[in-house]
């Protein structure tokens, strides 16, 4: 790559000029299952719209990391007692077959081959599904089945366009080590990077300095450049007392994080977190393919539970809901400038 990859996740209406001003050159761009009734048949309206969005983002000077469709999603549903529980919903069409069957694997590989061909020149890099070691995204798949899906998807993508950069991501849980061991010890798995999502200080213990050890660990484990598919720090939410942390109650229910860094979750602490993280990225630039910040903008409501007062999915942005820069925006812009300068000086 000419430069280290700097990307984010953003809504379709997000201001491209504003993102590029922050140093962002890439977007994560999800694609749904492309066909309505059968492979090779009529394209779905959602897919056509996603492709048009890719054309528009390319015309705005942004490169894309496509995300292949997942099997479904788990969201938090409230029961009659007011408690929240994870509820799974399938998203795959009937023409794919049933998950974890030879038919589904064949359909998924052929679908990925179609995506690589139909989106050639529009999508330069791919993330296969999302965090497939986590039940919220894996659904009915166990770890062995999830790895089979990744390998077949990679074969479909790379077999059609060998120039694509292809990999997958994990949520960084202990279960992810099965995925790393299975995928990256298999010479037949055509993967170009080791991907990871982590939110040290929010979803996980630690802080931005924790990235130093984790990046080195993944490089040593896989021998591939590491792509941070998601990273960030929530700028809102309280911190749970010890007894609440031990209860493992969903954060959508308590509105308090089990972890914090520095002085807690605020826009100012988020900005300092972003600054320190980029210092670590500069140190590890030799093994870092790139990093996608999650996310560009704050959200009006939490997509997991639907509440506006829930911090789980609402306060991760570099800009607020109206698009106004938060303190982290300025820290991010300066951090990217330092990172690109470090990266370029090493190659002179």
Q: Report how far residue 18's alpha carbon sits from residue 190's, in angstroms, rounded to the nearest whole number.
A: 35
From start to end of the chain, where are the E strands?
5-8, 26-30, 63-67, 72-78, 84-90, 125-128, 165-170, 194-198, 226-231, 238-239, 256-257, 288-293
In this prediction, residue 210 carries a pLDDT of 98
pLDDT digits (tens, 9 = 90+) for 128-156: 999 999 999 999 999 999 999 999 999 99
* Between 123 and 87, residue with greater pLDDT: 123
Tokens at residue 341, please? Answer: 């300068």
Stated length of the chain: 348
Q: Single out the residue of 315, 323, 337 nearest to residue 268, CA to CA.
A: 315
In this prediction, residue 242 carries a pLDDT of 87
In this prediction, residue 338 carries a pLDDT of 96
Residue 283 has φ and ψ, to the nearest 5°, of -60, -40
CA 258 to chain centroid: 21
pTM over 0.85: yes
pLDDT at 274 over 90: yes
pLDDT at 2 over 70: no
Q: Cβ contacts of residue 340 below 8 Å, gap of 6+?
A: 3, 4, 6, 23
pLDDT at 336 over 60: yes
Q: Report how far residue 56's alpha carbon sits from residue 279's, in angstroms, rounded to the nearest whole number.
A: 33
41 burial (CB, 10 Å; 0-12 / 13-18 / 19+) is exposed
In this prediction, residue 201 carries a pLDDT of 97
Q: Report how far residue 91's alpha carbon sits from residue 110's, in angstroms, rounded to the nearest whole number.
A: 18
DSSP state of 130: S
CA 278 to chain centroid: 18
pLDDT at 82 over 90: no
pLDDT digits (tens, 9 = 90+) for 28-75: 999 999 999 999 999 999 999 999 999 999 999 999 999 999 999 888
In this prediction, residue 177 carries a pLDDT of 94
What is the CATH code for 5-346?
3.20.20.80
Contact 188, 255 (CB under 8 A): no
pLDDT at 1 over 70: no
In this prediction, residue 78 carries a pLDDT of 81
pLDDT at 347 over 70: no
- Grouping H, G, I as helix, E, B as strand and the rest as coil, residue 97 is coil
Q: Strand pairing of 84-90 and 72-78?
A: antiparallel
pLDDT digits (tens, 9 = 90+) for 24-35: 999 999 999 999
In this prediction, residue 344 carries a pLDDT of 79
pLDDT at 243 over 60: yes
In the chain, where the domains are located: 5-346
């Amino acid at each position: 790559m000419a430069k280290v990859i700097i990307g984010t996740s953003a809504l379709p209406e997000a201001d491209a000029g504003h993102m590029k001003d922050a140093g962002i050159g890439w977007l994560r761009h999800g694609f749904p299952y492309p066909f309505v009734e059968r492979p090779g048949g009529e394209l779905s309206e959602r897919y056509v719209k996603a492709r048009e969005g890719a054309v528009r983002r390319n015309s705005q000077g942004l490169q894309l990391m496509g995300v292949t469709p997942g099997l479904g999603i788990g969201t938090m549903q409230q029961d009659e007692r007011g408690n929240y529980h994870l509820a799974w919903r399938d998203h795959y069409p009937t023409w794919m077959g049933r998950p974890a069957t030879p038919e589904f694997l064949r359909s998924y590989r052929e679908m990925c081959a179609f995506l690589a061909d139909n989106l050639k020149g529009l999508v330069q890099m791919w993330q296969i599904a999302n965090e497939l070691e986590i039940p919220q995204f894996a659904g009915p798949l166990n770890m062995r089945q999830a790895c089979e899906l990744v390998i077949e998807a990679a074969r479909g993508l790379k077999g059609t366009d060998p120039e694509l950069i292809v990999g997958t991501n994990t949520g960084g849980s202990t279960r992810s080590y099965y995925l790393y061991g299975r995928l990256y010890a298999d010479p037949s798995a055509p993967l170009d990077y080791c991907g990871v999502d982590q939110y040290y200080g929010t979803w996980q213990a630690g802080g931005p300095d924790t990235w130093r050890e984790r990046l080195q660990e993944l490089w040593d484990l896989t021998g591939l450049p590491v792509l941070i598919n998601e990273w960030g720090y929530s700028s809102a939410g309280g911190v749970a007392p010890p007894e609440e942390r031990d209860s493992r109650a969903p954060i959508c229910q308590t509105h308090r994080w089990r972890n914090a860094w520095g002085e807690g979750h605020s826009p100012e602490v988020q900005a300092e977190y972003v600054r320190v993280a980029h210092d670590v990225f500069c140190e590890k630039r030799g093994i870092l393919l790139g990093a996608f910040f999650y996310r560009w903008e704050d959200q009006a409501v939490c997509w997991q539970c639907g509440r506006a007062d829930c911090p789980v999915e609402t306060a991760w942005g570099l800009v607020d809901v109206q698009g106004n820069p938060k303190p982290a925006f300025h820290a991010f812009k300066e951090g990217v400038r330092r990172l690109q300068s470090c990266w370029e000086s090493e190659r002179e």
